[in-house]
Amino acid sequence: MDVLNGGEKVSLVGNPPEVGEQLPKFKLFNAENQKIKTRDLIGKPTLISTVPDLNTRVCKLETKKFNQQADHYPSVRFVTVSNNTITEQKAWCAAEGVANLEVLSDEELSLGYEMNLYIPNDGFLARTIFIIDAEGKIVYRQIVPEIHDEPNYLEALDVIKKYATEVD
């Protein structure tokens, strides 16, 4: 699959999983350097936002918007994933006041390769949003066509509302 980076076509390592598929197995790391596996994300509806680099304008905006929304949906887990280091992520969260969602590191590119979201020629993840149900089935997928653009927040939040009302 291809996306654009500043108008230039770049290729992902493969085709990302589709709606209806199970979330593939991968591992990430949290701020305490604890391993978070796919099975740790299952159990409640979860929005997973992948961003290229937290230290860029659009990634910052996106993560902060979802951080603000997380308060409104306590039954939904909000996760942002980048391949920034844990140290970079901790410093960024502290500087930006992001505490309502989990920021997880894919520095080892496990999610990037298992979900085919890694852009090898650029060295970072594509900008995407995946929503999984409590059983880990993908119920929503948004691959942002141009990584410099913000995602469609309203579309993703409309899906979250359906799952939040079932549980809240």
Positions annotated as catalytic residues are 59
Q: How far apart are CA 66 and CA 79, in angstroms?
A: 9
Q: How far apart are CA 13 and CA 16, in angstroms?
A: 9
Residue that the structure tokens 């598929």 belong to: 21
Residue 5 exposure: Cα atoms within 13 Å on the Cβ side: 17
Closest CA to 41 of 60, 57, 27: 27
Q: How far apart are CA 86 and CA 149, in angstroms?
A: 25
Closest CA to 23 of 38, 36, 35: 38
| Distance linking the first and last C-alpha atoms of the chain | 36
Is residue 151 within 8 Å of residue 27, measured between CB atoms? no
Q: What are the beta bridge partners of residue 11?
A: 2
